Amino acid sequence: MSMRLTTLCYIERDGRWLMMNRVKKKNDENAGKWIGVGGHLEEGESPEECIAREVLEETGLTLKNARLRGILTFILPDWGNELTFLYTGEAEGEPRPDCPEGVLRWIPRAEALSLPLWEGDRVFLPLLDTRQDCFSLKLIYAPGGRLTGWALDGKKIQSGENE
């Protein structure tokens, strides 16, 4: 099975992250979840080019000071495996009100973990506050979207019965 290549960015401003509530697309694996902005790499595109394009397409904002923060390996039996380049960055102005994929909101960082998130996001979002280096995180999901295990920087941190 091939691995999808994607990008994900949390734009930072005044102690908040720009996040998207995925409520607009049909057949969306992220339906109802709050996530950062990003998407799939196109043919010939670097991760940096992809995240700049995706931020502009989804938010109308120009990404500045993009910084690679992590490499996320998602093992997703329901949707296919995915390798995601995780960024943080900044942008000026306000996001477009008509994002085609969801509703964009500035979320205080301290409140982000209280939102409906993927279980794995609850693992990596705190790392954006505690780690300054680029980390590698493997997230293993069971069918139905339940997180069963993860490994940080190649070291198993938690494991479940369905690995």
8 backbone dihedrals φ, ψ, rounded to 5°: -150, 135
Instruction: Tell me the CATH number at 139.
Output: 3.90.79.10
- Which has more confidence, 66 or 30? 66
CB contact at 8 A, 96 and 55: no
Q: Evaluate whether residue 140 is within a structural domain.
A: yes
Range of 57's domain? 4-158
Q: Evaluate whether residue 42 is within a structural domain.
A: yes
**CA–CA dist 100, 136 (Å, integer):** 30
- Which pair of tokens denotes residue 32? 């109802």
pLDDT digits (tens, 9 = 90+) for 69-91: 999 999 988 888 999 999 999 99
Q: Evaluate whether residue 14 is within a structural domain.
A: yes
Q: Evaluate whether residue 35 is within a structural domain.
A: yes
Number of domains in the chain: 1
Q: What pTM, to 2 d.p., does this model score?
A: 0.91
Q: Evaluate whether residue 163 is within a structural domain.
A: no
pLDDT digits (tens, 9 = 90+) for 31-75: 578 989 999 999 999 999 999 999 999 999 999 999 999 999 999
**CA–CA dist 6, 8 (Å, integer):** 7
